[in-house]
Each structure stands twice: as structure tokens, then as C-alpha cells.
Structure 1
Amino acid sequence: MMRILHRWLGLVLAVLLFVTALSGAALSLFPALESARSLQPDVTLTVADLAARVQAAHPGLEQIKRAPSGQISAWWFDGDQPGSAVIDPATGRDVASADPNPLRRWLTNLHRSLLLGDTGRMIVAAGALAMLLLAISGVVLVVRRLGGWRHWLARLRGPLAGRLHTDIARVAVLGLALSAMTALWMSAETFEIVTIDAASLETPATVSGQTGLALAEMQALRAVPAAELRELSFPAPDDPQDMFTLRTDRGMGYVDQGTGTLLGWQDLSLGQRASETIYMLHTGQGAAVLGLFLGVMALGVPVLAVTGVLVWLPGWRNRPQLTGNAPAAQADTIVLVGSEGGSTWGFAATLARALRDAGQSVHVAPMTAFQPARYRRARRFLILAATYGEGDAPASAKGFLARLQTLETVPTAPLAVLGFGDRSFPAFCAFARAVDNAARNKGWPALMAFDTIDRQSPQDFARWGRILGQALGIELELVHQPDLPATQTLTLLERHDYGAAVQAPMSILRFALPKASLWQRLAGQRFTQFEPGDLLGIVPEGSAVPRLYSLASGSRDGFIEIVVHRHVGGLTSGQLTQLEPGQTAQGFLRRHPGFHAGRDRTPLILIGAGTGVGPLAGFIRNNKSHRPVHLFFGLRQPDSDFLYRNELSDWQADGKLAHLSIAVSRGERPQYVQDALRQQAPRITAAISQGARIMVCGGRDMARGVADALTDILKPTGLTPAMLKVGDRYVEDIY
């Protein structure tokens, strides 16, 4: 719910917040400029002295004002001609025009009312409320994403737009929340929703009726420092019953023009002081540094708006347009979807169409929208859930498990859970299985047993559909044609072959970067922004199922590089390893932020075997900061399958690779990568004590042996691989 609120408030009100934020940032400059130009009165100067100096220059003086910035202005009549000027308090003479800055006045009207009067003021107030809700919901989402307040400043991984959005929000949220709250208060005062109880000062019953006392001799004015003045209004000429009206930072009073005595005084009320403080906090008037700070924070809003749209767009594009989606309150079948890249939504759309054709009323929604009270006519629930990373919830299912755990009673309509994943990964359908287990533990009735779909198999999906049809007592045929991601043509630049002598043919393939438009570069789309460890999907000819390869290069390298092992009968690997320079393949990019090296200075322990060295080589190639990197590489025979042999030597010489250990499984003394780890146990424990991060890439058997070896190595330290995984210091890319 919090994510939905944050997303749609931001999207719907992006233009309004864009305008008010930019105009507010521009207005924040004026108090600072005014303060810098203002001639501040001497600390010993009194209101009486200041008024006398100005009156000497302008005998028809009517009013003196001091702005919060310290700037002093005066208004007078010279005969019948009005005049005004900014005053030098040291001389009482004019130094600049007092006329309002036209640009400032226009920006103020735009910021307060969008140039639309009271209607615009109400719209702006709604925008301020939206900004406050966005700030609150954003804080909650960031805390959830980072795993608690103590990780508020933790380094982020993932696509640039998402990182930039969160980083700016973490810095700007306090200023934006303060601006929004003060704007709401000022709007409430404007529309008299909140009224400030200002104590009134009664007009004195009697005055001296005398005139002619020199300003410099008026005791009431001599008692007030000029630095505390806000406004001094002069009595009307030739009216002995009129008085001076004096306003200061403390309150207001009347001064007898004939005797110079104070005739009455009223301190500012608590409400007035609060209102003035709020005005200062919002405008920066009287606090120029604070105003500049809030202005800089406001400049983050346009960037947040743009990056927010860029974060939202991929999911929107990948999510199919669901036609005929019944309202939640009227549907008898509720289909909830947990998807990261969008493919699970395609299966949900196929399921919904088939159920409707069978006479069912179906409502499809993300798992984040789960609200049991909405489904008043539901007769069954179907959850289709992918898994992200090592068993985590995908994007459209964040918070579902927590919401399920807090339910006092679960729905009475039965539930079926279907998991989507790749069986070659250790965490195959782990999140979907966790959902099914949590539902059973809460007592949610089961419609059918938990089941899984491997590698988006249409055959698996059709099989599950027939079982579902039997459970519902209907004929149900699920014919699904996966929607392939948009691919680009990749041209092979060069290839290097290895491993033929040890019956393990492998190739390092380097493709040219496809051309991209300016918008694609700004949005980070296609192959404009990627890092080693991200995934290249190759769609082979004659198949609709792509094969994913870990990237050994980043976009800054200027090329796309992967390492491919040719499997016997392998369609994709066979086609790729037969490519010659100049020939092409169809590919797409998939982010894999859980397997990025990051940019901090802590040591890296990289462990891989065979083609698993690909992304690890990419990490080393991009180690521009020369962080300590230790590579443990398992191969069969150095003269045949020593991938990146020359490059690794160069990287060591350049300081990008601190240490290299190779394990040769077909040498005179056969050794595997886990054996090399045990031999270098002191080096590993020393790096771990310095905060090192371990990254493992390769086959499952190798990864299992590595985990066992590290368990033994770390035992004296009190750590385990599982403990390091919790802290994101042990990550795997296993196939």
C-alpha cells in the first residue's frame, strides 16, 4: 500500500511538484541576495536616531520598515508626489529603489497560486500535502529497502535511476518535509482553517495633543535598537491627536508625538510568534542560509520526478494490459502476481483469459495490492510468484509475506500457489514456497498442492492448468506464448577459443555496443548502462526460450563480453560458439544488481571455475580504484583453458588484481578451487577481518565445495558463510 501511494502520488502530481519546487528554489535566492546587499545598522543605532536621519533627507516621511534581511526602506511624500527608497541607516540617504522586483513578484505568485488566484492556492496546498505524504512514504520505503534505520546511509546497488532516486531522497527528505509542513500551515492560515489569536492593542483614550518634539528626543524610540525595528508609521501631518505606531520583534505600541512617551504596548502572542517562525522556515526570510538549504533540497524534486518515472517505466512496459479485468469486489477468482522482470504477468494474463473463457469472473492484481476485505465474492485465490535473488520477494510482491503474517484471519476461499523460476539456481521458487508455507501455517485452505514452473516452460504451465481445471471442475487449457523481451542485434567483434584439448570447448565472445538514442542513454535503457555481473539474454534461432549469460564487461568498457561453454546438443551455446566476427545474434539486457562488485574500498575475494571467471574478470577490469582483489580460479589445464591468462597478468601489473591463485584439476597434483582456498586460509581470514566481500560464480558442485571450505576456514573467527550472506558479504551466481 505504501509503495502504491508513493508511486501514484508522484506520477499524478509530478508536474505540479516540478513547478512549485523550481519556483521555490528560485525564490530562496532572493533572501540571500537581499541579506548580502543590505547595509546593517550599527548595534548602537536606535529607532529615534534612524528616523531622524531619514527625516532629515525626506521631511515628508510617512513610514520606515526593516525587512527580516535587515534591509531598511522608507516611504514619504514630497509635496503631492510619493517616494520610496532603500535607505542607508548610517546616513538616512537613498541607496536603491524600494519597488518590488517584478521577477520575484511573478515567481511568488506562481509558487503560491500558479497565477490562478484562490483556485491555484488550493491546488498548491494539495501539492504540499502530496509532498508531505511522498516524504513520509519515501522514508518508509527506503527504510524497508535498506533493512532498517541503521542502514540509512548504506551504499545501494542496482540501476542508476533507482540509486539516484533513493540517494537524493535520503538527503532531501528532511528539507522537503519541512517545506511541505510549513506550506500546509500557511495555506491553512490563508483559508482561515487555522486562525491566529492576535491580541489587539486598544487605542489610548488620551494623548498630549502636543506636536513638534524632535525624533531624536523621543524616549520611547530611543529605547528600541534599530536592529529590532519592523515598522514605524508616522502620525498624519497637522493632527495632534494622531500617534506614532511602532512595531518591533517583540510586539507593537503607540508613541505620543508630543512627549515621546509610550502610550500602550502589546507583546506578540504565542500564536503570532509561531506563525512568524513558520513563515521564516518556509521562505528563508530572516534565515538566508536556511532558505538556501531548502532551495537546494527543492532542486532535488525535478530529479526525483524524472528518476521516479524512469524507475516506474520498465515495470509498466513489461506489465501486460489486462483487458476485461473484473473489479476486486465482484470477482470470484482472484489472481495475485509477484513479478520482477514482467514475464510472470504474461502467464497471469494467459490464465485470466482461459478462466474467463470458461465462465469465471477474474480479477488480476499485484501481490502488493492484497487486501482480503476487498474480495467479498472471492471463491478462490491463485498466486503466481517469481523469486528474486536468493529467495527474496520480487518487485510486485514486496511486503506480501509481512501483511499475511499480521492477518488475524485468512480468507476462507482456498488458495493455490504457483512458483516460477530456474531449477538450476539454488533458490528455485524459494519465495513462492515461502508464501505457500506461510499460508498453510496461518490455516489458509489449499485449493491444490504447491507447484512450480521451470524456465518459463509453456508445457509445465499447461500441465498445471489441467490440474487446476480438475480442481475447479472445468476444462482448462492454458496455451501460453511467452512474450520475449525486446531484443537488439549484436554484432560479434572478436572471439577467443579455449578448452578444446580438455574436451571443454569455451569461447570469450566480444560484441559491439548497439547504437542508442539520446533518450535511451538518459533513461539507461537497452545496452546504455550495465555492469559486470548483469545478464545478457540470447534468443537462439528456432526457440522462444532465451539463455542468460553473466556479463564480463560494463558499459564503460565500450563492448559486450561473455564467456560461453559449448554444451553437447546445446542450442544457444552451439549457435554462439559458431559465430564468426561480423555475424550477429539477438540479445537483451537483464539487470542483476545482487551480483555487482560495488565501488567501495573493501577487499574482494572472487572465486570461480571455468566460465564462471567471466563476470569476475569484469570486476577486475573495472577496478579503477585499485581496491584489494583476490582471485581464486579453477581450471583444468593451463595450456588449454586458462581464460583471460594474459589479461590477468596485465591487471596484476596495473594493480587491479592483488593476488591470483589458480587450481588445476588435471595437473600432476590435481587441485580444485576449494583446495586453493584452504591453502590461502590466512590471507582469506585477514581480508574478511578488513570487511571483505566474497563473490562466487560457477557450477553448483563447485559452489557447494567452496561453501564447505569457507565454513572450515572461518570457524576460528566465529563467522560462517550464512552469517556473511545476511550482511551481503557473500553472494553467489550459480548455474
Structure 2
Amino acid sequence: MIRMLHRWPGLLALALLTLLAISGAALSVFPAIERLSAPQADAGQTVAELATLVAERHPGVEQIRRAPSGRITAYWFDGGTPGAAVIDPSTGNDIAPADPDPFERWLTNLHRSLFLDDTGRLVTAGGAAAMLILALSGVMLVARRTGGWRRWLAPVRGPTDGRLHVEIARFVVLGLVLSSVTALWMTASTFDLLPDAPLHPPMPERMSEQTGFPPADMDILRSTSVMQLRELSFPYAGDASDVFTLKTGQGTGYVDQGTGQLLVWSNVTAWQRLSEIIYMLHTGQGATALGLILGAMALGVPAMGATGVLVWMRGRRGRPRLAHNSPASQASNVVLVGSEGGSTWSFAATVAKELRAHGQSVHIAPMKGFDPRRFPVARRFFILAATYGEGDAPASAEGFIGWLDETADIPAAPLAVLGFGDRSFPAFCAFAEAVAKAAHAKGWSELLPFDTVDRQSPQDFARWGRALGDVLGIELELAHQPVVPATETLTLVSRRNYGADVQAPAAILRFATPSVTLWERLTGKGFSHFQAGDLLGVLPEGSDMPRLYSLASSRGDGFLEIVVRRHAGGLCSSQLTALEPGSSVQAFLRRNSLFRAGAGRTPLILIGAGTGIGPLAGIVRANRQCRPIHLFFGMRHPGSDFFYGEEMPGWQAQGRIARLVTAISRGARPHYVQDALRAEAVAVTRLIRDGARVMVCGGRDMAAGVADAMTEILAPVGLSPATLKAEGRYVEDVY
């Protein structure tokens, strides 16, 4: 429900909110310009002195106003002709016309009413309401994504557009709530929907009915500083029953024009004070710095609108089209999906299809943002969850365990958890297992014991389906066919061979980048955008299970490059290492936004061994700004598998590598990359204390050894790989 409240107002009102935000940001600049350009009164100058100066130059003065910016404007009649000017308070001289800036006036009318008068004001109020809904629902979604309010500022991961959306929201949401609430208040006040306090005290019943007392001698004007002045209105010429009206930040009073005595005084009410504060907060008038800050925050709206649309489009692309998905309020079976790359969704679709074949209603949804109140008639819940990295939540399940830990609203319907992973990895189905344990600890009843599917095994999935059928009393056969991503043909243009001397054939394979359409460039599909560290999914002949390889190149290089070692019995690696220039493969691109060098000049510590050098070499190649990069590379023998050995000296000469440390594992003194790290412990510690980011790529055993070495190196300074990971400064691409 919260996600829907956040998504649809944003998509439907995007153009209006962008217009209001940009125009509001532009208007926030004018109070600052006015403050800087207007002459300011001296702190000791009184209203009596100012009135005297102005009256000497304009005997027909009717009113003097002081704006929150300090600008003073006088209005007068001269021979029946009205006049107005900005006044220099030190001299009373005119210094500029009082007419408002035409562009500012045009922009104000656009922002307030879209040039549609009351109808436009109602439309902009609707935009403010949509902004308030977006801001409040966004706050709750960010809290869910980060695992609770206490982790509001915790690092977020995932695709760049999603991370930018959250990061921007964190810093602008308070300003957007403030702007939208104050806009709604001002609209309600415009349409007299709020209690109305009298602006002026009642006129006195008894006056001297005399004229001519000079303002310079009036006690109330002599005791009032110009800094307090809001407005001074002069009596109408020749009307003895009229009075001076003085308005300050403290209240409003009437002064007898014949005696100079204060006749009536009314202090500002709490309601009027609140209204003034709200006006100041929304317009920035009287609080220039705050206005500029809120204006800058408003510029987050178009940025979040753009990233939000990208997130929505990616979400629609990332999920299969779920035909016949029952409404959440009517589904008796709810399948929650935790997926990083999208494959788990297709297993969920298979479950739903078979259950529907037996007359069951099924709703499929992501684990992220789960709210049991959406499913009032659910009789059972299923969680199908993959694991990301070393036991982390996949993209569509972020925040779920945090919700479990904090909620007291556990569904009464039982739960079955099925994990998807690769048993050869140490963290096999660790996230799904953590979900099952957390649910059990919360008292969520169990429909089936926790189970797993290894490497998308149709046999494992069918076995689980039969167990589910036994519990439901139906014959359930889950025959799943993996959904293969759409592929493109890549042609090999060159290869460099390595590893023959150590009986481990390997090659650097360079493919031509396929052509992309304009639509692909605009939407980011296909091979339109990629960076070193993204993944190339290669579909071997005779198989529907792709193999993923880390890219050693970026789009700007003009080619796709991977480093491949042939493995005994490896279908894909055998085919790739046998390719000759001119041959082709079927492949697709999968972005890996978590394995990024990031922007800035922060030092990088790149650690890799064997073919893990691929994406690290791509990062070095792209380092045209000569960011400090310290590369630790482990190989078997420099004469056989020193990948990119030809390029390394040139990269060092160009400043793309600050330091290269190699480790040789074959020879008289075997030396591994973790040994090289220990030997450079002092330098590594200094770099990390200075903010360096660590990137590790290679086999699981190597990565585990590196983590152990880093734990030893960093322990004396109170750091560890775990703390660096929590800060987003230690990332791994492990296979």
C-alpha cells in the first residue's frame, strides 16, 4: 500500500511537481538578491527619523513599508499622481523604482496558480498534497529498505538509479515536507478555510480630531526601531478623523495625528505569528539562507522524478509479465520473491501457474515493502528468495528481515521458505535461511520446512513442489523451464593466449561491441552502457544456463573484453577458449552496480588473482584522471599468465597505476596475493585510514584468504573487512 501511495502520485503528478519545484527553486533566489541589493537601515535608526526623511522629499507620502529583506518602499501622491520608489533609509532619497521585477512576477503567478487564478491555485495545492504523500511514503520506504529508522543513513546498494533516488531523498525530504505543508496552509488561508484573526485593532472611539503633530516628535515612532517596522500608514490629508497606523513585528497600533499619542495597540496573536512563520518558511522572505536551502532541496524533485521513472521502468523490465496475477485483496496464496538478477521470478510464475491449475488464486509480489494487511484472505504464504553476495538480501527483498525484526503484525497464515543459490558458494542460500529463522523466531507458523534449490535445478524445484502438493492434498508437478534472457550475437575480433606453460589455458577475448539503437541508448537497454565489472552472460551451445564473466572494458573503450580460463569439463569455458577471430557467441549484459570504483580521488586498493584481474584491469584502463590505484595481482608464473603484462608498464608511466605489487604462486618461493598484502601491511593500513576503497576479484578461496589477511592487518587500528563492507568501502566480485 505504501509503495502504491509513493509510486502513482509521483508518476501521475511528475510534470506538475517538476514545474512547481523548478519555479520554487528559482523564486528562492529573489529574496537573497533583494537582501543584497537593498540598502539596510542602521540598527539605531528609528521610525520617526525615517518618516521625517521621507516626508521631506515626498510631502504627500501615504505609506512606508519595510520588507522582510530590509528593503524600504515609500508610496505617495504628488498633485494627484501616485508614485512609489525604493528608499535609501539613511537619506530618504529614491534609489530604484518600486515596480516588481516582471520575470519574478511572472514566475510567481506560474508557481502559485499556473496563470489559472483560483482553479490554478487548487491544482498547485493538489501538487503540494501529492508531494507530501510522496515525501512521507518515501520516508517509510527508505526506512524499510535500510532495515529500520536506526539505519536511516546506512549505505544502500543496488543499481545506480535506485541508489541516487534514495540518497537524494535522504537529504531533501525534510525540506519537501516543509514546503508542501506550508503550501497547503497558504492555499487554505487563501480560500478562507482557516480561522481568521483580525488584522487590525478596532478604531478608537475618541480622538483629538486635530492635525499637524510632526512624526519626528511622536513617542511611539521615536521608540520603534526601523528594524522592527512592517508598515507605517499616514492619515489621509485633510481628514482629522484619520490616524497614523503603525505595524511592527510585535503588533499594530493607531497614533493620533494631532497629539502624537498612541490610541490603541494590539499585539500579534499566536495564530498571526504562526501564519507569518509559515509564509517565511515557504517563501524565504525574512530567512534568506533558509529559503536558498529549501530552494536547493526543491531541485531534488526533478532529480528524484527522473531516477524514480528509471527505477519503475527497470522494475517493469526486471519482472516477467505475470499473467492472471490475482488482486492482493482476493488471493488465498501469496508468493513473495527475493531476486537480484530476475531468475527467481520465473520460478514464482511456475508455482503460481500450477496452483491456478488446481483452482487456487495466487498473487506474486516482491518481498521488499511487504505489508500483510494487503492480503486479508491469504491462507498461505511462500517466500522464494535468492542470496546476494555473502549472505545479503537480493534487490527485491531489501529491508524484509528488518521488517520481521521490528513488526508485531505476523500473519496467521503459514509460511514456506524456499532458497535459491549455488551450493559451491560458502553462503549457499544464507539469506533465505536467515529469513526462515527470523520468521520462526517471530512465531510465524511453518507450512513446509525450509528447503533449497541448487543452481536452479529443475529436479530440486520439482521435489519441493511434490512436498508442497502433499501438504495441500493435491498432485503438484512443478516443471520449470528457466527463462533465458534475450541475447545478441558478439563477434570475436582478437585473442591473446596465456597459461599453456602451467597447464591452465586461458585467453583475453575481445569482442566487437554490437550496434545499439537510439531507443536502447535512451532506455539503457542492451549494450548501450556498460562499465568494467559489469557481467557478460554467455550462452554456450547446447545449454540454456548462461555463464557470467566480469567485463574488463567499458563502453568508452569501444569493445567488450573478458578473461577466461578453461576448466576441465567446463562447457562454456571450453567453447570460449576455442574461439578464433571471426567466430561468434550469444550473450547478454547484466549490470553489476555494486562492483564500481566510484567517483572522486579516493585511493583504490585493487586485489585480484588469475582471471580476476579482468575487471580490475578495466578500472585501471579507465583511470584517465590518474586516481591513486594500488594493484595487488597474484599469478602462477609471470611467463605464462601475467594477464595484461604488456599494458602494465604503459599504465604505470601514464599514472593510471600508482603502484603494482605482484605475487607468484609457482616457483621456489610460492607467494600468494594475501602474502603480498601482509608484506605491505603498513602501506595498506595507511591507505585505508585515509579512506581508500578495497575491491577484490577472483576465486572464492583467494577472496577468503584476502579477507583473513585484511582482518589481521586492520585489527590493530580497530577496523575489519566487515566494517568496511558496512561503509561500502570493501566490495567483492567472487566466483
- Looking at structure 2, the residues matched to 558 and 539 of structure 1 have their Cα atoms a distance apart, in angstroms, of 22
**Aligned equivalent of 1:454:** 454
Change (3 A) 1:167 1:334: closer
Indicate if the aligned counterparts of 2:147 and 2:402 stay in contact, CA closer than 8 A: no
What TM-score do you get using the length of structure 2 for normalisation? 0.88
In the TM superposition, residue 644 of structure 1 has moved relative to its aligned partner by 1.3
Change (3 A) 1:476 1:63: same
Change (3 A) 1:462 1:701: same
In the TM superposition, residue 209 of structure 1 has moved relative to its aligned partner by 1.8
In the TM superposition, residue 21 of structure 1 has moved relative to its aligned partner by 0.8
Indicate if the aligned counterparts of 1:626 and 1:656 stay in contact, CA closer than 8 A: yes
Q: Is 1:202 paired with 2:202?
A: yes
Indicate if the aligned counterparts of 1:383 and 1:415 stay in contact, CA closer than 8 A: yes
Indicate if the aligned counterparts of 1:532 and 1:552 stay in contact, CA closer than 8 A: yes
Indicate if the aligned counterparts of 1:64 and 1:73 stay in contact, CA closer than 8 A: yes
Query: How many residues were matched structurally?
Result: 734
In the TM superposition, residue 306 of structure 1 has moved relative to its aligned partner by 0.7
Partner-residue secondary structure (3-state), 1:363: strand
**Aligned equivalent of 1:631:** 632
For residues 562-593 of structure 1, what are the alpha-carbon distances to aligned partners after superposition, in whole Å with 9 as ceiling and x for unaligned?
10123345343334334444544333322323
Indicate if the aligned counterparts of 2:158 and 2:395 stay in contact, CA closer than 8 A: no
**Aligned equivalent of 1:33:** 33
Aligned residue runs from structure 1 range 254-653, under 5 A: 254-408=254-408, 410-516=410-516, 520-521=520-521, 524-599=524-599, 604-623=604-623, 624-635=625-636, 637-653=637-653
- Looking at structure 2, the residues matched to 545 and 332 of structure 1 have their Cα atoms a distance apart, in angstroms, of 33
Change (3 A) 1:154 1:632: farther
In the TM superposition, residue 633 of structure 1 has moved relative to its aligned partner by 0.7
Q: Is 1:71 paired with 2:71?
A: yes
Indicate if the aligned counterparts of 1:632 and 1:677 stay in contact, CA closer than 8 A: no
- Looking at structure 1, the residues matched to 24 and 30 of structure 2 have their Cα atoms a distance apart, in angstroms, of 11
1:260 maps to amino acid = G
382-391 or 692-701, which deviates more: 692-701
In the TM superposition, residue 256 of structure 1 has moved relative to its aligned partner by 1.8
Indicate if the aligned counterparts of 2:230 and 2:248 stay in contact, CA closer than 8 A: yes
Unaligned stretches of 5+ in structure 1? none
For residues 271-298 of structure 1, what are the alpha-carbon distances to aligned partners after superposition, in whole Å with 9 as ceiling and x for unaligned?
3233222212221223333323322222
In the TM superposition, residue 227 of structure 1 has moved relative to its aligned partner by 4.2
146-155 or 296-305, which deviates more: 146-155
In the TM superposition, residue 332 of structure 1 has moved relative to its aligned partner by 2.2
Change (3 A) 1:543 1:2: same
Partner-residue secondary structure (3-state), 1:308: helix
In the TM superposition, residue 508 of structure 1 has moved relative to its aligned partner by 0.7
Change (3 A) 1:720 1:171: closer
- Looking at structure 2, the residues matched to 147 and 691 of structure 1 have their Cα atoms a distance apart, in angstroms, of 25
For residues 147-199 of structure 1, what are the alpha-carbon distances to aligned partners after superposition, in whole Å with 9 as ceiling and x for unaligned?
78898778776544334334433443343333234334334434555436458
For residues 484-525 of structure 1, what are the alpha-carbon distances to aligned partners after superposition, in whole Å with 9 as ceiling and x for unaligned?
334444343422111233332211122344445666556554
In the TM superposition, residue 383 of structure 1 has moved relative to its aligned partner by 1.4
- Looking at structure 2, the residues matched to 467 and 640 of structure 1 have their Cα atoms a distance apart, in angstroms, of 52
2:108 maps to amino acid = T
In the TM superposition, residue 381 of structure 1 has moved relative to its aligned partner by 1.9
Change (3 A) 1:548 1:242: same
Indicate if the aligned counterparts of 1:86 and 1:98 stay in contact, CA closer than 8 A: yes
- Looking at structure 2, the residues matched to 148 and 648 of structure 1 have their Cα atoms a distance apart, in angstroms, of 46
Aligned residue runs from structure 1 range 157-306, under 5 A: 159-192=159-192, 194-195=194-195, 197-198=197-198, 201-306=201-306
Indicate if the aligned counterparts of 2:620 and 2:629 stay in contact, CA closer than 8 A: no
In the TM superposition, residue 729 of structure 1 has moved relative to its aligned partner by 5.2
608-617 or 464-473, which deviates more: 464-473
Aligned residue runs from structure 1 range 74-93, under 5 A: 74-89=74-89, 92=92
Change (3 A) 1:350 1:147: closer
Partner-residue secondary structure (3-state), 2:392: coil
Change (3 A) 1:520 1:251: farther
For residues 78-131 of structure 1, what are the alpha-carbon distances to aligned partners after superposition, in whole Å with 9 as ceiling and x for unaligned?
555544444454565555443444443343233233444445444434433443
In the TM superposition, residue 331 of structure 1 has moved relative to its aligned partner by 2.3
In the TM superposition, residue 143 of structure 1 has moved relative to its aligned partner by 6.2
In the TM superposition, residue 385 of structure 1 has moved relative to its aligned partner by 1.2
Aligned residue runs from structure 1 range 671-690, under 5 A: 671-674=671-674, 676=676
- Looking at structure 1, the residues matched to 575 and 398 of structure 2 have their Cα atoms a distance apart, in angstroms, of 38
Change (3 A) 1:118 1:339: farther
- Looking at structure 2, the residues matched to 626 and 330 of structure 1 have their Cα atoms a distance apart, in angstroms, of 56
- Looking at structure 2, the residues matched to 681 and 225 of structure 1 have their Cα atoms a distance apart, in angstroms, of 67
- Looking at structure 2, the residues matched to 102 and 516 of structure 1 have their Cα atoms a distance apart, in angstroms, of 47
Change (3 A) 1:690 1:64: closer
Aligned residue runs from structure 1 range 15-164, under 5 A: 15-41=15-41, 46-89=46-89, 92=92, 94-139=94-139, 159-164=159-164
Change (3 A) 1:638 1:337: same
- Looking at structure 2, the residues matched to 446 and 163 of structure 1 have their Cα atoms a distance apart, in angstroms, of 35
Change (3 A) 1:52 1:563: same
Partner-residue secondary structure (3-state), 1:314: helix
- Looking at structure 2, the residues matched to 405 and 147 of structure 1 have their Cα atoms a distance apart, in angstroms, of 9
What TM-score do you get using the length of structure 1 for normalisation? 0.88
Change (3 A) 1:81 1:713: closer
Indicate if the aligned counterparts of 2:338 and 2:393 stay in contact, CA closer than 8 A: yes
In the TM superposition, residue 359 of structure 1 has moved relative to its aligned partner by 1.2
2:364 maps to amino acid = V
Change (3 A) 1:577 1:329: same
Partner-residue secondary structure (3-state), 2:328: coil
Indicate if the aligned counterparts of 2:551 and 2:614 stay in contact, CA closer than 8 A: yes
Change (3 A) 1:237 1:297: same
In the TM superposition, residue 19 of structure 1 has moved relative to its aligned partner by 1.9
Unaligned stretches of 5+ in structure 2? none
- Looking at structure 2, the residues matched to 347 and 498 of structure 1 have their Cα atoms a distance apart, in angstroms, of 40
Indicate if the aligned counterparts of 1:419 and 1:452 stay in contact, CA closer than 8 A: yes
- Looking at structure 1, the residues matched to 673 and 724 of structure 2 have their Cα atoms a distance apart, in angstroms, of 20
Partner-residue secondary structure (3-state), 1:423: coil
Partner-residue secondary structure (3-state), 1:646: coil
For residues 437-469 of structure 1, what are the alpha-carbon distances to aligned partners after superposition, in whole Å with 9 as ceiling and x for unaligned?
223334434333333333434454344334433
- Looking at structure 2, the residues matched to 451 and 190 of structure 1 have their Cα atoms a distance apart, in angstroms, of 62
Indicate if the aligned counterparts of 2:144 and 2:400 stay in contact, CA closer than 8 A: no
Partner-residue secondary structure (3-state), 1:322: coil
Indicate if the aligned counterparts of 1:221 and 1:260 stay in contact, CA closer than 8 A: no
- Looking at structure 1, the residues matched to 598 and 31 of structure 2 have their Cα atoms a distance apart, in angstroms, of 42
Change (3 A) 1:501 1:71: same
